[in-house]
Chains A and B, each alone.
Chain A
Amino acid sequence: DAGVIQSPRHEVTEMGQEVTLRCKPISGHNSLFWYRQTMMRGLELLIYFNNNVPIDDSGMPEDRFSAKMPNASFSTLKIQPSEPRDSAVYFCASSPGQGAGSDTQYFGPGTRLTVL
């Protein structure tokens, strides 16, 4: 298996633009997680899905952020409009089981987002 796939790997955009990050989880995994990582705050869970259904989005910073999982093999994280403080590395992870992460999570390579 190729592991968790994320695209793009790097994104540079201007403030106010819409940004869409994409994730393909490991086939057969039931849970998908979106994280944001910064030097100041470390890894923060934004939202997670079980069987394509959003279970907890309490980590989404504000309404500018939205996430979807239309099927078991694809998820998107959208920021509209983007702001400089959104600059971070965004990771997608998947795990075989249900729940919020009792299983080992397999992380993608991340998308480094820079908002100018």
Chain B
Amino acid sequence: KNQVEQSPQSLIILEGKNCTLQCNYTVSPFSNLRWYKQDTGRGPVSLTIMTFSENTKSNGRYTATLDADTKQSSLHITASQLSDSASYICVVSPGGYQKVTFGTGTKLQVIP
């Protein structure tokens, strides 16, 4: 069964600190992995997308890594800001007409 597990479930960090969120998946075959950011009361917004051959992708202060051999990904947030408070969802796609699999997300709270 295709699964995507994220850890931690929730995280509180001080403004200005860095943090790393984890995503482990068992989806097969593998086409791509995306990280979405979901602010409270809004729809998810794509941050990064990585295919099998990519190990790192950055979007501003967000850097995603992918190890396709161990089926693990991480999202690193540098110099966190209050606006980073949100849920971060890892999504893995087998490609084609097969459905994507969503993780249940990590809820991040950045406090002053």
Specify whether A and B are partners: yes
Q: B100 is contacted by which of A42, A98, A100, A106 (Cβ under 8 Å)?
A: A100
Between A102, A105, A109, the greatest number of chain B beta carbons within 10 A of the residue's beta carbon is seen for A102
Contact of A99 with B95 at beta-carbon distance under 8 Å, contacts A42-B105, A45-B100 already known: yes
Interface set, chain A 44-61, CB cutoff 8 A to B: 44-45, 48, 55-56, 59
Contact of A102 with B46 at beta-carbon distance under 8 Å, contacts A45-B100, A55-B97 already known: no
What's the interface size class on B, roughly?
20 to 34
Chain A residues close to B by CB (< 8 Å): 4, 41-45, 48, 55-56, 59, 91, 93, 98-102, 104-110
Q: Is the CB of B89 within 8 A of A100?
A: no
Complex Cα spacing A107 to B100, Å: 15
Say whether chain A's binding surface is mostly helix, strand, loop, or mixed.
loop
A-B residue pairs in contact (CB < 8 Å), sample of 16? A4-B43, A41-B104, A42-B103, A42-B104, A43-B89, A44-B102, A45-B102, A56-B99, A100-B100, A101-B93, A106-B46, A107-B43, A107-B44, A109-B41, A110-B41, A110-B42
List residues of chain A with CB within 8 A of the CB of B89. Answer: 42-43
Contact of A109 with B43 at beta-carbon distance under 8 Å, contacts A45-B100, A104-B49 already known: yes
Determine whether B34 belongs to the interface, using a CB cutoff of 8 Å to chain A. Answer: yes
**CB nearest to A9 among chain B residues:** B41
Against A, the Cβ 8 Å flags (1 = close, 0 = not) of B18-56 are 000000000000011010000001111110010000000
